[in-house]
Amino acid sequence: MLLRPKMPYAAPVPTAHLPVSPVELHHAPVTCTCAHAPTASAGHPVSPLVSRGASAVAAVLVVGVVLTALLATVAITAIAVSIAALVLRSLLNTAHKR
């Protein structure tokens, strides 16, 4: 009983009662008698080339980031190998001089 902590009493959180079905208001469509330019439908994209262009830009960016990361990896590896070669050459030269 001593090692079992007791949680402090918390008051229950009040909940609001929502109606089962919300009330929806429907208005009659308004017809216009003046001459307007026809509008594009909201269901279809205006230009299918826009989505292709965006995906092409995203693909180019991803490929660029991947190639840049690979180039950085190769450069860092080349630097590490050259430093290791210098250290080994220095150690071998001092061993031969003794």
Q: What is the pLDDT of residue 67?
A: 97
* Residue the block writes with tokens 């090692």: 3
Q: In angstroms, rounded to a whole number, what is the distance separating the alpha carbons of residues 50 and 76?
A: 39
CB neighbour class for 74 (10 Å; exposed up to 12, middle 13-18, buried from 19) = exposed
Q: Which residue has the higher pLDDT, 70 or 39?
A: 70
- Quick: pLDDT tens for 47-98: 555 567 778 888 999 999 999 999 999 999 999 999 999 999 999 998 777 6
Which has the minimum average pLDDT: 34-38, 42-46, 52-56, 69-73?
A: 42-46
Q: What band does 4 get if pLDDT is binned at 50, 70 and 90?
A: confident
